[in-house]
Structure 1
Amino acid sequence: MAETVDNPGDSRFEIRSDGERAGFVDYRLRGGTISLLHTEIDDRFEGQGLGSLLVRSVLDNARERGLEVLPYCPFVRSWIARHPDYLELVPEGRSAEFDL
């Protein structure tokens, strides 16, 4: 069972699989904008879809909080490109900056 938690002390969302940290997304929060900087999944958990689950959870959290998303992380950027219903989270005036 995988769960995602916000760890604001370390400025990262973490995904846990059976209680063990399997990966994270580093972020920077400023006002109403969250910059997603880096995503990492531990090698032992690769290929289980946890990266996608983590990114979806982070973006859903941003949507619930009314945050704009700046996807500096290439993995997050490509995930958003494959899931256009999340494009609205990237500020319209900045989407070209991320090739979205």
Structure 2
Amino acid sequence: MLMDYKLIDNTEAKQYEYHIDGVIAKIEYIKAKDKIYLTHTEVPKELEGKGVASSLVKQVLEDIETKGLTLVPMCPFVAAYIKRHPEWKKLVLKGINIA
């Protein structure tokens, strides 16, 4: 059952977060001018297999779109998500090939 988690943009820690049952799922990022590099996705063991990471990526992509940023997906999980959901390719920096 996919829950609707609240996305937190923790700008100090440079990561997007979900706080679930006392643990944190996160996507780390680097922002440079109008670009955002998603570098690492991490979901605690106890949350694995529940669709948390996919939900997190989706909400982060929505936030990036809202902010008008250009995405550089350095994290393999994010790149794989975009490959499965090609409608998000519009956010990706031109010239980056998502294999």
Q: Same fold (TM over 0.5)?
A: yes
Residue 4 of structure 1 is aligned with which of 2, 7, 17? 7
CA displacement at 1:26 relative to structure 2: 0.4
Match for residue 31 of structure 1?
Answer: 33
Question: Going by fraction, where is strand more abundant, 1 or 2?
Answer: 1
CA displacement at 1:21 relative to structure 2: 3.2
Match for residue 91 of structure 2?
Answer: 89
Cα distance in 2 for partners of 1:4, 1:92 equals 27
CA displacement at 1:17 relative to structure 2: 2.1
Ranges in structure 1 where 5+ consecutive residues have no aligned partner: none
- Spell out, residue by residue over 1:9-44, the C-alpha distance to the aligned partner (whole angstroms, 9 max, x if none): 0000001225x3331000000100000000000000
- Spell out, residue by residue over 1:34-89, the C-alpha distance to the aligned partner (whole angstroms, 9 max, x if none): 00000000000001100000000111000000000000000000000000000010
State percent identity of aligned pairs. 34
CA displacement at 1:3 relative to structure 2: 1.6
Ranges in structure 2 where 5+ consecutive residues have no aligned partner: none
Is residue 35–residue 72 contact of structure 1 (8 Å, CA) maintained in 2?
Answer: yes
Cα distance in 2 for partners of 1:47, 1:24 equals 15
Match for residue 16 of structure 1?
Answer: 19
Residue 63 of structure 1 is aligned with which of 57, 62, 65? 65
What is the number of residues matched between the two proteins? 96
TM-score norm. by structure 2 comes to: 0.90
Is residue 14–residue 21 contact of structure 1 (8 Å, CA) maintained in 2?
Answer: no
Question: Going by fraction, where is helix more abundant, 1 or 2?
Answer: 1
Cα distance in 2 for partners of 1:49, 1:40 equals 12
* Root-mean-square deviation over aligned CA pairs: 1.2
